[in-house]
Structure 1
Amino acid sequence: MEFFGSTNLSRKGIHHNWEVSGVVFFDESDAASIQAREDSKKRFLKLWDHESFGVDTRFVAARWLAHDSAGSRWLAKTPAGERTAQMPHMRRRVMRTVLRHIQQFDGESADWLQRQLREAPAAVRAADLARQGMAPGYATLIAVEETLGTEKFYDELGRLPSIQKLNALARGA
């Protein structure tokens, strides 16, 4: 079984466009179904390897509380003993920061993908995929990755400011 969903590169962000688009069940007795399951596993591993990151909210919140790296004025006035009591608040703040950067990435990556369509090979491939019935956002995404190659595609996305900020958060900055 596979659940899937998307924001469809709409620039609405995850707060306004979060959906589960479908569920797929695989039939063990059907070779095509098993192949689809294997393809699904490959997509998940690609997602895991290239499109996910971990953030330990306790670690980041503790660092922010200890070093005031979040820039909070109220924190500078809080005695060290009271900072532990602030941990739940700070963890929520970390999560809001992560969500804000993800939303920024949604917009930055959509803009970056549109810039990539200015190159003829990507534009031609995206148009071809769209003519085959693929949603325009997915057609763009696939065309740009195919044109650049997976490694360069993710290297370029990794240079976007929001991803740099997310990676810094994952390291506890």
Structure 2
Amino acid sequence: MSIHLRAARYLLPALLLALLGEASAQTIVYRCPGPPVLYTDALSAKEAQEKGCRTIEGAPITVLQPARRPAPPASGTVSSNARPNESKVESQQQRGRDSERRSVLQAELRNAESKLSELRAEYNNGTPERRGEERNYQKYLDRVAELKASITRQEADIEALKREISKLP
């Protein structure tokens, strides 16, 4: 048995070197995160690691050419993307939209404040009443923590709604 183990000890590194040699002959493609996701084979292993890129193995890669953009208009001509005067909103119409938005935000604020008062009443300053299904004390503690988190979220929502209302004209 010792002869087989010695042979395996020498053959295993040789096999690994042969496999690594074949893999290095192929192009290594990296997938790099970020908007937009980048697929490239032009990075070294160190650069790819620094950028947080991962290797793609065994996946077929299709390269798409970007769509050609039209040439910019010559100076002195009006771009087709420019808004004509007809598309502008009249001030009366904008005031109507603003007042509608204000009323919607105020309704949301009232709902959020009433929900917050219900949550605070149930929370009872950190000692809510135990329910029948909470025979296990950990279930009770979990519900208390969930109530506290809900109160914190609701308070943050109320502050955000107040900020939005204050931004309106």
Common fold, TM-score beyond 0.5?
A: no
Larger Rg: 2
Q: Quick one: higher RCO (CA 8 Å, sep 6+), 1 or 2?
A: 1
